[in-house]
Amino acid sequence: MKTIIEPFKIKSVEPIKFTTPEEREEVLRRGFYNLFLVPAEDVLIDLLTDSGTAAMSAAQWAGIMQGDESYAGARSFYRFEKKVKELTGFTNVIPTHQGRAAEKILFSLVAGKGKFIPNNSHFDTTRANVEFAGGEAVDLPTAEGQDPEAIADFKGNMDTLALEAFIRKTGRENIPLCMITITNNSGGGQPVSMENIRETHRICRKYGIPLFLDACRFAENAYFIKKRETGYADKPVKEIVQEMFSYADGATMSAKKDAIVNMGGFLGLNDESLAARARNLLIVTEGFPTYGGLAGRDLEAIAQGLDEVLDEHYLQYRIRSVEYLGERLVKAGVPILLPPGGHAIYLNARKFLPQIPPEQFPGQSLVVELYRRGGIRSVEIGSVMFGRMTAAGTFVPARMELVRLAIPRRVYTQSHIDYVIEVVVECFERRGDFPGYRIIEEPPMLRHFTAKFAPIR
Ligand SMILES: *Cc1c(COP(=O)(O)O)cnc(C)c1O
């Protein structure tokens, strides 16, 4: 088998800035050891997120020039709507400025007090929108999905036995809809099988509960199904996508992921009366239903991106480049969450830095060292993000201490990834020297974005 290469050539480039160790030390100090507070310009390889960080294609940029900016009924809207309908089959397609705007509208309408929304794993904005509306977000991942070292094909699956038990206990009238997140972002970018989507659909149908997909990475999920699930090897990814959506009554989507654009999203729905109410809310907060918070040019770029993301050479390269990073790290003995997901590698910081206790934030320590040694920006997903203090002042750590290396779409080449591997391996060899951190200032909510840290010497 030959090397799987980037299925594109580069037409336009953006320089990245090299810094000296002294400069990086100063950047860290000025940013209080929080990489969210570091200017992107001072980052060499930015793996903070795969959301909205993709490189658009020449055809997408051409679409930007062709965008129809008419207030109502823009040609670009109809192109976007046609593409989304072709893939999803939903009768109503409502554009929003990003995924969370679709979530906000949907859950404002259905998730009031006393309502429960089950999901394989809620993404943080999804959970926040359910809770903000007064409802309760319930995660039902499988047991293997929660084991960072279990190797399995579909660790993103919903625990369907738990789902049915939950519906019986809670009462179908208290569950306005059920969701499946593909791929399961909070669970490590792990895919969900078609069988699991079908079974979830069957259970939902039995109890009369609509099923929605949180469809941000639908194409990556479909590609995993093609590669791993019996019966799909010879099916075009597009048909797999259409089958996945055929089991759903609606979807929320962040176009910043698998539509390969920098901003955008949509809400898809089959329920006409819910769609009418959603459009009324859209007009208040986002805009008229044929643009919904986006410019016509954005809708063009999304329509084009939804085509490009289904190119199987693209998907092969995408999934393989993440797997390659994971494989090389495993070979060097670096502990990661297994198997590699679709959009990111998660370093297991608890194993990487066992000498740093969770209350001294091993993930944060590793994030700082990756920048210090290589100018790489990553993100802590551990006790900085999810740890908390009880009223009595005891520290409750996160379930896992992870550092996510998210791979932007079509942005970095294999040599960039090789460099990342070298830096991670160097950190692994020097791991005994890394300090823990303490928080010197933090906001009351979502502290990881703005907290200030100091090393514990
Ligand atoms: C990114 C993401 C969202 C939210 O989308 P935004 O465009 O960032 O608002 C929702 N769900 C999942 C699974 C995501 O990855």
Span 24-36, mean pLDDT?
98
Domains of the chain: total = 2
What residues line ligand 1, using a CB cutoff of 6 Å?
Answer: 51, 98-100, 123, 125-126, 181, 185, 214, 216, 254, 256-257, 265
Q: What angle do CA 19, 21, 26 make, to 5 degrees?
A: 85
Residues 74, 135, single domain; the answer is yes
Residues forming beta bridges with residue 296, ordered by sequence position: none
Q: State in Å: Cα 139 to ligand 1 middle.
A: 16
Atom of ligand 1 nearest to the CA of 101: 9
Residues 292, 360, single domain; the answer is no
Confidence of residue 187 (pLDDT cuts 50, 70, 90): confident
* CA dist list (Å): 371 to 47, 96, 267, 322, 349: 11, 34, 37, 20, 15
Name residues whose C-beta falls within 8 Å of residue 284's C-beta, 6 or more positions apart in sequence: none
Residues 65, 41, single domain; the answer is no
Q: Which residues of 269-300 are buried (b: 16+ CB within 10 A; e: fewer)?
A: bebeebbebbbebbeeebbbbbbbbbbbbbbb
Residue ending a domain, among 253, 285, 308, is 308
d(CA 331, CA 153): 20
Does residue 125 fall inside a structural domain? yes
* Minimal-distance CA residue to ligand 1 atom 4: 99
Confidence of residue 186 (pLDDT cuts 50, 70, 90): confident
Q: Which helix H or strand E contains 436, and what residues bound it?
A: strand 436-441
d(CA 394, CA 397): 10
Percent of the chain with pLDDT over 90: 92
pTM for the complete prediction?
0.95
287 conformational bin, left if phi > 0, alpha if psi -120 to 50, beta if neither: left
Does residue 3 fall inside a structural domain? no
* Minimal-distance CA residue to ligand 1 atom 8: 99
Give per-residue pLDDT as tens, 93-147: 999 999 999 999 999 999 999 999 999 999 988 999 999 999 999 999 999 998 8
Q: Which of 371-380, 413-422, 446-455 bottoms out in mean pLDDT, i.e. has the lowest?
A: 446-455
Ligand 1: which of 218, 221, 257 to mutate, most ligand atoms within 8 Å of CB?
A: 257
Q: Residue 445 above 80 pLDDT?
A: no
Q: Residue 451 above 80 pLDDT?
A: yes
Residue ending a domain, among 288, 308, 328, is 308
C-alpha Rg value of the chain to the nearest Å: 22
Does residue 13 fall inside a structural domain? no
Does residue 419 fall inside a structural domain? yes
Residue ending a domain, among 289, 308, 327, is 308
Give per-residue pLDDT as tens, 247-283: 999 999 999 999 999 999 999 999 999 999 999 999 9
**CATH number of the structural domain spanning residue 366:** 3.90.1150.10
Does residue 12 fall inside a structural domain? no
Residues 280, 394, single domain; the answer is no
Residues 32, 73, single domain; the answer is no
Give per-residue pLDDT as tens, 347-395: 999 999 999 999 999 999 999 999 999 999 999 999 998 888 888 989 9
Residue ranges making up the domain that contains 118: 58-308
Q: State in Å: Cα 60 to ligand 1 middle.
A: 21
Does residue 5 fall inside a structural domain? no
Sign of the Cα torsion 153, 249, 106, 130 reads negative
Residues 111, 199, single domain; the answer is yes
Q: State in Å: Cα 293 to ligand 1 middle.
A: 16
Q: State in Å: Cα 399 to ligand 1 middle.
A: 21
Mean pLDDT of the chain: 96
Atom of ligand 1 nearest to the CA of 265: 7
Residues 110, 139, single domain; the answer is yes
Q: State in Å: Cα 216 to ligand 1 middle.
A: 6
Residues 244, 321, single domain; the answer is no
Q: State in Å: Cα 392 to ligand 1 middle.
A: 34
Atom of ligand 1 nearest to the CA of 255: 7
Does residue 9 fall inside a structural domain? no
Span 288-297, mean pLDDT?
95
Q: State in Å: Cα 95 to ligand 1 middle.
A: 14
Ligand 1: which of 125, 139, 181, 184 to mutate, most ligand atoms within 8 Å of CB?
A: 125
Residues 407, 288, single domain; the answer is no
Ligand 1: which of 129, 139, 185 to mutate, most ligand atoms within 8 Å of CB?
A: 185
Residues 45, 183, single domain; the answer is no
Residues 33, 68, single domain; the answer is no
**CATH number of the structural domain spanning residue 90:** 3.40.640.10
d(CA 179, CA 89): 17
* Minimal-distance CA residue to ligand 1 atom 6: 99
Residues 41, 131, single domain; the answer is no
Does residue 261 fall inside a structural domain? yes
DSSP-based three-state secondary structure for 270: coil
